[in-house]
Structure 1
């Protein structure tokens, strides 16, 4: 039954033209992170938390349905007031493409535990108060089929407004970086992540480039054989010592391990 629901959901995403940005990402020359081409990752959102009278960027996220944003469980703290900004590129400039939505409902994966990050299940779905208007700067990413795992070395891209380096500044403009997939058998070696990385996770990078604080919850964007972009992972954790550590790839929650849960939540609410 769940597989059928997942299929329906995927088919619905295709109707909305998932994973096909009007502005093509610049994927020719990314080495250790650079400004993304404006609005080339149109499903990338900024999850913002209210402090006093102002909202501040706290995490990334991905628009995966007309009213649904996928982010990390560790981005959600009880009592916080959230909003989602779509169509954003530069945090300091009003570009006229931004759309702001309130969060109507937050569903954190029931098995997520902040005290045991390495157990996995670092996922949350946010239901927006109303659908954004889909445009050249706001679009939907595709969700992979259940169990799909990108091959070792697959060139995927992380995107976000996270720190440019450990304890470094937050960038103004959306960043992207090439992070090749590291297969589980390599990533789980004792001198890599060892037992901290579960089969429900996906590793990417592990050299001089990685995710960093503020990228959490954002997508691992991988190009499918059909020419569409899929959110194969949700940014979960990096080395606690430094963001860019050799043999410590960025670890993502593997989206395709949670297809049934995502379908169930989006159809239930």
Structure 2
């Protein structure tokens, strides 16, 4: 709660540059500034030397914000100077942390990331991968821009909030719109089919990239997904030798990996709860012994 010991007469005197009154204002706000500075520092680093550096920097910024609050405070608008000052401090620190997190993140990158976040079923790490492959040429993000966009998004106060810097995100870019390399009126069914297949391949690679290295390698080898050569699931000894492990470990990695990949695939592709249920049932059937034999076919 805000302190009630800071009288308006003291605030007026501080606004008139009275040294004693100014000292009183500084002392009255010091504790709360420290709390807000630590909170802002945790947005940047949970602990350690970096946290301490940010805390010190943000405390200094908080004191500056109190000075600014003194210059802008109007008791005809509000008589709660401390509330006004703390709001000013919080706003300054929030803007500072956003600016620090979002270095190099432009509005286009943020908008592309949000579009891929929807396609990735809300998984920011998968969205980072998809940003680099799914959008058409000219819209794809470099690894650095995609990484920065993810950090900016994860630093938002709410996961429902748009990524800082994003604009006009009510109409996200859709991969099926004007992405075929030809004018819209010349797009054919083959163009749409090829684009859908390309996006599907990108999604498969992106999902594999977010899995554990061992499981991902086994799945790539099982189905012949680059850069791993095709082994199928009848050459586990050879795949195990390639990985420097055992055939048993390969089989275990395949079993767990198929389940993990299937769950990720359903999360990212199902459009409705009903579709998710259908895909889950199909996956369960496919991963039974009978289903596994069908996979080998």
| Greater fraction helix | 2
Same fold (TM over 0.5): no
Q: Of the two structures, which has the highest relative contact order with CA contacts closer than 8 Å and spacing of 6 or more? A: 1
| Greater fraction strand | 1
TM-score for both structures, normalised by structure 1: 0.20
Pair member with larger Rg:
2
